Amino acid sequence: MYQIPFSALAFPNIDPIALSLGPLQVHWYGLAYVAGILFAWWWARKLVSTPSLWTKDKSPITQDQIDDFLIWAVIGIILGGRLGYVLFYDLSTYLADPLQITALWNGGMSFHGALLGSIIAIILFARKRSIKLFSLFDVISASVGIGIFLGRIANFINAELFGRPTTVSWGIVFPGGGPEPRHPSQLYEGILEGLILFLIMAFLTYGLRKLKTPGFIAGAFISWYAISRIFVEFFRLPDAHIGYLAGGWLTMGMVLSLPLLAVGLWFMQRASR
């Protein structure tokens, strides 16, 4: 019989709905996306308006171009994230009820899908505006860490994507997760894939001036995310309808992250050459 540690933590019962205005309900999940996108927009404008960070003290991207890219980024993130989740994680459910695809307030966004959608948006925008592609990749990569952090906090508030049963003192008994304390894997991801990633990007940008080496920051971003995600997957409970792959330890998150790691390493190697 599984023994619940005396020091297990109760889940803080936070209402997923931040604000209700009549029939309109504003969810923390949606607010996290809005706040993350706005922060990334502000930080990207800051980067392109700091000449000393760039080769010959001149940014190849203007603040106006960052402003114009904002709507492209929003579309890429939302469409890519939602379609990625539908295709990679729960296709049969959404085929049975296609209207649920639009119910973003219930959660269900794939980071890998959002990343792919963002990459497509960056490529199309860079070609349309004749912007150096890898420099735009770098600026966006250096700006999104806080948004990832806020998104994982929203996952925690929604009591979704929790971890495997654990006996560690900070284990949390999640609603819908049974009586066992579980790893708060959403917080692990928020710290590793969000806060620490943002700090690494800031060091590469301001400390090592890697915006002068187009593609390196984007490669470091992708590589660190992939490594962090693979690590956290050992603590995170996989989606019930997918479960474990290849003998009971491999997860879909690991499978999707391995190609990202290869791409990230290639980006850094290319930039260094």
**Per-residue pLDDT tens over the stretch 242-273:** 667 766 678 888 988 999 999 999 999 999 88
Give how many domains the chain has, as a whole number: 1
Token digits of residue 137: 């990749």
Q: Lowest-pLDDT range, 71-85, 114-128, 193-207, 224-238?
A: 71-85
pLDDT at 1 over 50: no
Q: Is residue 3 part of a domain?
A: no
Pairing of strands 172-173, 9-10: parallel
Rg (CA), the chain: 20
- Give the whole-angstrom CA distance, residue 37 versus residue 69: 11
Q: Is residue 6 part of a domain?
A: no
CA distances from 36 to 28, 161, 192, 230, 251 (A): 12, 19, 16, 23, 27
Token digits of residue 29: 């999940």
For the question of whether the overall pTM of this predicted structure is more than 0.85, the answer is yes
Residues 134, 268 contacting (CB under 8 angstroms): no
- Give the whole-angstrom CA distance, residue 131 versus residue 134: 9
Q: Is residue 11 part of a domain?
A: no
Query: Which range marks the domain in which residue 186 is found?
Result: 16-168+177-272
- Give the whole-angstrom CA distance, residue 214 versus residue 204: 12
Render 86-141 in DSSP notation, one character per residue. HHHH-HHHHHH-GGGGG-GGG----HHHHHHHHHHHHHHHHHHHT--HHHHHHHHH
Q: Is residue 48 part of a domain?
A: yes
Query: SS3 of 161, please?
Result: coil
Residues 145, 194 contacting (CB under 8 angstroms): yes
Q: Is residue 60 part of a domain?
A: yes
Q: Is residue 8 part of a domain?
A: no
**Per-residue pLDDT tens over the stretch 97-140:** 777 766 665 556 788 888 899 999 999 999 999 999 999 999 99
Q: Lowest-pLDDT range, 11-25, 79-93, 121-135?
A: 79-93
CA distances from 258 to 37, 40, 50 (A): 26, 26, 34
pLDDT at 163 over 90: yes
Query: SS3 of 20, please?
Result: strand
pLDDT category at 200 given cuts 50, 70, 90 is very high
What are the backbone dihedrals phi and psi of residue 27, each rounded to the nearest 5 degrees, phi first? -95, 150
Q: Is residue 9 part of a domain?
A: no
Q: Is residue 10 part of a domain?
A: no
